Amino acid sequence: MKAASFLFVVVILLWTSIKGISCMNISSSSKAAQDYAEFLLANGVALTPPMGWNSWNHFQCNIDERTIKSTADALVSTGLAALGYKYVNIDDCWAEESRDWKGNLKAKSSTFPSGIKALADYVQARGLKLGIYSDAGYRTCSNKMPGSLGHEEQDARTFAEWGVDYLKYDNCYNDGSRPRDRYARMSYALRKAGRPILYSLCEWGEEDPAKWAGLYGNAWRTTGDIKDTWESVISIADQNNIWGRYAGPGRWNDPDMLEVGNGGMTIEEYRSHFSIWALMKAPLLIGCDVRSASGQTLNILKNKEVIDVNQDSMGVQGRKIRSKAGLEVWAGPLSRKRVAIVLWNRSGSRAAISVGWRELGLSPHNPVIVRDLWTHSFLSKNKRYGVTAFVAPHACKMYLLTPP
């Protein structure tokens, strides 16, 4: 056992006890605690929310190796990779409809003729990581390729041999057994496969995975699929907000991939979407075609100050602390006693939103440095009592507060 790995487990288990996550049964079940510790030792990834790109939102099943390669190239050339967007994740429809004669998954020859190993080599040569998709059922959700149910160890070995770094694991066409049991089987298989693979569970929040998925994986979907609409973003944000206390380093609530740049919302709505996902410590997985992304889209996705909030080492999910008539205050603690806040206007008209320092756990009398993370400017270096902003409809203001 490497000393660094052991220290990591100790730190995370201490963090768990501090956060009081006894509802995960870590403290009440020695077997659960052992499972959790073993998972961390075998995995040791996602200490901050994963960042990257996923093919599904924009391309769905219309993918091939040329698209994946050119997307990897674009992540590098646009500077996105340098900001932390490292995972290049292939979603559904990458494999042949049937397994080969040995029972192995096989890349679809018409769209991935070079195979997944060669694709992983290409992506990793650019300093990136390759992700892949499977399902805890007999078929994947597209019904166009086999799932991994009953083949967990075989498929985990295959993914490791190919050099896969990330597995998104869906929940379609299953046998009706408990999702927890089926997801645990793949977790154990990944541990035995001999390669650290980030494990992302996708059962759409139906069985409250926040309560148990941290024992087995690094991220879990808390909701159904996102859509490129304002209504979808606010609904999913509210659903994901419920589960904040279960998230932390190595395990994250996942409100689904980003829709920024896909064209269904305004720039202000996309900026709000990105701000709230960042504050909630959600995985930041780009869902648009980065090869043709507009300057406005890239300005949102490349906001380093907002990304830094998401990637803060403290790893505490921000939450909604107040809502009235569509005017909301969201906030979350950061390292070095800082606080990030989002003043979010869900209403249809411009409005003032205020928050006091006392409401955020800060002394109202001490001066606070207030930095606007979208204008990249200091609102004040000596602000007392609180802050008020006039916010356009469907827009937000995101501030970093640094107390003395």
The active-site residue out of 91, 170, 254, 256 is 170
Three-state helix/strand/coil letters over the chain: CCHHHHHHHHHHHHHHHHHCHHHHCCCCCHHHHHHHHHHHHHHCCCCCCCEEEECHHHHCCCCCHHHHHHHHHHHHHCCCHHHCCCEEECCCCCECCCCCCCCCCCECCCCCCCHHHHHHHHHHCCCCEEEEEEECCCECCCCCCECCCCCHHHHHHHHHHHCCCEEEEECCCCCCCCHHHHHHHHHHHHHHCCCCCEEEECCCCCCCHHHCHHHCCCEEECCCCCCCCHHHHHHHHHHHHCCHHHCECCEEEECCCCCCCCCCCCHHHHHHHHHHHHHCCCCEEECCCHHHCCHHHHHHHCCHHHHHHHCCCCCCCCEEEEEECCEEEEEEECCCCCEEEEEEECCCCCEEEEEECHHHCCCCCCCEEEEECCCCEEEEEEECCEEEEEECCCCEEEEEEECC
Pairing status of strand 198-201 against strand 166-170: parallel
What span, in angstroms and rounded, lies between the C-alpha atoms of 339 and 139? 44
Q: Is position 135 annotated as part of the catalytic site?
A: no
Q: Output the CA–CA distances (angstroms, integers) from residue 342 to 213, 235, 293, 323, 400, in the order listed.
A: 28, 17, 25, 12, 9
Beta bridge partners of 378: 371
Please say whether the beta carbons of 316 and 248 come within 8 A. Answer: yes
How many Å apart are CA 214 and CA 198, to the nearest integer?
A: 12
Catalytic residue among 121, 225, 238, 308: 225
Who's near 269: CB < 8 A, 6+ residues apart? 230, 233, 394, 395
Q: Would you say 127 and 163 are in contact if contact means Cβ atoms under 8 Å apart? A: no
Is 225 a known active-site residue? yes
- Catalytic residue numbers read 170, 225
